[in-house]
Amino acid sequence: MEKRALLAFILSVAILTIWSYWFVPQPQSPVVEEKQVQPDQRVEMKGPSPEKAPVPQASPPLREQGKEVLEEKVARVETPFYVALIGARGATLESWQLKKYKESLSPEASPIELIRSEKGERGLELAFEHPQWAGINNAAFSFDQDQINVKEPSEKAVLRAFLPLADGGQVVKEFIFYGDRYSVDMKVSVCDSQGRSLAERIGLVLSYEASRLSSSSTSFSGPVALTSHGLEELSDLEKLAGKPLEAKWGGFAQQYFIVATVPQAPGRRDLLLEKKDERVRVSLWQGASGQDGCNYFFRLYLGPKSIEDLKLAGEDLDKALHLGFFDVIARPLLLAMKFINDYTHNYGIAIIVLTIVIKLLFWPLTHKSYASMKEMQRIQPRIKQLRERFKNDREQLNREMMLLYKTHKVNPLGGCLPMVLQIPVFFALYKALLDSIELRHAPFIFWVKDLSAPDYLLRFPAGFSFFGIEGIGPLPLLMGASMVIQQKMTPTMGDPTQAKVMMLMPIFFTFLFISFPSGLVLYWLINNVLSIVQQIYINSRVE
């Protein structure tokens, strides 16, 4: 049984270590036409489109103004959720600050900014297949108003930006802002004086600083898309650049936040990646909508990866929160934790309550496991005798062992299998706690101010770290101590070598958990304490 327990621990550690490498969604290789794209050319992406209208033979007359003049003309939009700045130059998004989320716990911390103009990032640029529209994003648009303040959840407001063209036509960007959500609806009209479309297809572009991109075993920051394969992290820019990928929506994702563009027209929607001048551009392309054929509709989402907020935006945006291979288990656990928090108003207490509930659900399995281990300990002397007696006859030893198990009604796998069955729940909860925006900057008690961060009550000197560990705190030490106590109470088989190896496991797990989020360490600690209580109960009943 000691071997099975050791195997269960080693399997748990191995799976925990390589978990993200197995189950993080990998980008699929899209079936695309192998066509080289030149820097100043657009890939022509075919798909359903309105009746083709004449394309202008000369560049549309775009009003040129000095950059300094344009940067002074900004429309400011504020809702209960965000503050947005839209510049007159191209009517593009220059800043998007989230009012409910800060960069850190410091009182002076700045709001999370999903679009940063000072870094050269811009949102909602237009892309056309015809190169004569190349200057559209530097043209001087005019606004119908320059201040919008949406105060109530039931309110909404409309902002329009206009760009007149030489033939009497115009380009219009219309934004609809809501007081109860992070999503924004957008209509782009590209019409001549007769109301006909001046482009078959257009793309809406998000531009990000390349230094924002990162990928690790636990998180990804970069381009993403929802395709027929599910959520894909587009990490291989060299391979995917310039190749259309059919996608329902796409954008840039971080661990806790996402900026996404959703084309609204029926038919094919294509995502195009470009990397140039330390900028990564994600453009979503679609054909025109509406009877006049010159309107293009998009939905935008710039906010946290919260299930409720993403679902409110629709368009399967809730799939932006991917909780790994055990997503089907992790989502209900996350929702259950949020439900409990509605009553406790403390996510640390919610984790404790959820752990107790999970423990009660698995009580029959763990009870059977501990009872089986205890019974195996009872018959160890008899097993040792059989091994000594039939050490040269393996087949006879196996028959005698099976007879012994049958006589004492012991299943040799009875102690290990229930542990294995709980592994999916552990990893599902691990992923839910790791990526839950609700735990970000959520306090517990006393020194634990952020359940999404490691417990570093005592930090090492500035600039010093040990294998990425920057400090130490009580939670992982208590968790390690609980493992030692639990190990002392667990029935053993008397093998000195294995006993020494098992004594190293609490040290290894403590070291491993020091850099884990406090919320996950809290779950593991409470689970160990409950297991100790259960073992005491079982020992009293068996003895």
DSSP string of 318-350?
A: GGGS---TTHHHHHHHHHHHHHHHHHHS-HHHH
Give residue 413's pLDDT.
65
Q: Above 50 in pLDDT, residue 188? A: yes
| Torsion 431-435-437-442 (CA) sign | positive
Burial (CB count within 10 angstroms: exposed 0-12, middle 13-18, buried 19+), residue 417: middle
What average pLDDT score do residues 132-137 get?
A: 86
Share of the chain above pLDDT 70, in %: 81
Give residue 361's pLDDT.
87
Instruction: Report residue 435's pLDDT band, with 50, 70 and 90 as the boundaries.
Output: confident
Burial (CB count within 10 angstroms: exposed 0-12, middle 13-18, buried 19+), residue 65: middle
Q: Above 60 in pLDDT, residue 53? A: no
Instruction: Report residue 538's pLDDT band, with 50, 70 and 90 as the boundaries.
Output: confident
* Strand-pair category, 257-263 with 82-87: unpaired
Give residue 51's pLDDT.
41
Give residue 1's pLDDT.
39
Give residue 62's pLDDT.
52
Where in the chain do CATH 2.70.98.90 domains reside? 57-321
465 or 16, which is more confident:
465
Give residue 417's pLDDT.
64
Q: Above 60 in pLDDT, residue 71? A: no
Q: Above 90 in pLDDT, residue 468? A: no
The CB density around residue 464, as the number of other CB atoms within 10 Å, is: 10
78 or 6, which is more confident:
78
For the segment 238-253, what is each residue's pLDDT rounded down to a tens digit?
A: 788 878 888 999 999 9
Concatenated DSSP letters of 409-467? T--TTTTTHHHHHHHHHHHHHHHHHHH-GGGTT---STT---TTS---SEEPSTT--BT
Residue 145 DSSP one-character state: -
| Torsion 361-362-367-368 (CA) sign | positive
Q: Token digits for 6?
A: 């050791």
**Cβ proximity of 261 and 252 under 8 Å:** no
Give residue 135's pLDDT.
86
Give residue 385's pLDDT.
82
Q: Above 80 in pLDDT, residue 410? A: no
Euclidean distance between CA atoms 131 and 124, whole angstroms: 18
* Strand-pair category, 122-128 with 201-209: antiparallel
Q: Above 80 in pLDDT, residue 37? A: no
- Element housing 155 (H / E): none
Q: Above 60 in pLDDT, residue 366? A: yes
Between the alpha carbon of residue 478 and those of residues 362, 376, 452, 536, the distances in Å are 23, 30, 18, 19
Task: Please give the CATH number for the structural domain made up of 57-321.
Answer: 2.70.98.90
Q: Token digits for 514?
A: 């020091």
- Element housing 26 (H / E): none
All residues at 6 or more sequence positions from 535 whose CB lies less than 8 Å from its CB, including other chains: 370, 486, 489, 490
Amino acid identity at 273 = L
Instruction: Tokens 């036509």: give the residue.
Output: 169
Q: Above 50 in pLDDT, residue 397? A: yes
Give residue 440's pLDDT.
92
Share of the chain above pLDDT 90, in %: 35
Instruction: Report residue 534's pLDDT band, with 50, 70 and 90 as the boundaries.
Output: confident
363 or 190, which is more confident:
190
**Cβ proximity of 87 and 74 under 8 Å:** yes
Name the range with the highest mean pLDDT among 146-150, 165-169, 452-456. 146-150
On average, the pLDDT of the chain sits at 80
Amino acid identity at 324 = G
Instruction: Report residue 491's pLDDT band, with 50, 70 and 90 as the boundaries.
Output: low
Instruction: Report residue 427's pLDDT band, with 50, 70 and 90 as the boundaries.
Output: confident
**Cβ proximity of 169 and 198 under 8 Å:** yes
Instruction: Report residue 57's pLDDT band, with 50, 70 and 90 as the boundaries.
Output: very low
Give residue 213's pLDDT.
80
Instruction: Report residue 325's pLDDT band, with 50, 70 and 90 as the boundaries.
Output: confident
Q: Above 60 in pLDDT, residue 543? A: no
For the segment 83-132, what is each residue's pLDDT rounded down to a tens digit?
A: 999 999 999 999 999 999 999 888 888 999 998 876 667 788 898 888 88
Q: What is the pTM of this model?
A: 0.79
SS3 509: helix
Give residue 238's pLDDT.
75
339 or 368, which is more confident:
339
Task: Lowest mean pLDDT of 293-302, 346-355, 364-373, name the range.
Answer: 364-373
Burial (CB count within 10 angstroms: exposed 0-12, middle 13-18, buried 19+), residue 104: exposed
Q: Above 60 in pLDDT, residue 315? A: yes
Give residue 362's pLDDT.
83
Burial (CB count within 10 angstroms: exposed 0-12, middle 13-18, buried 19+), residue 138: middle
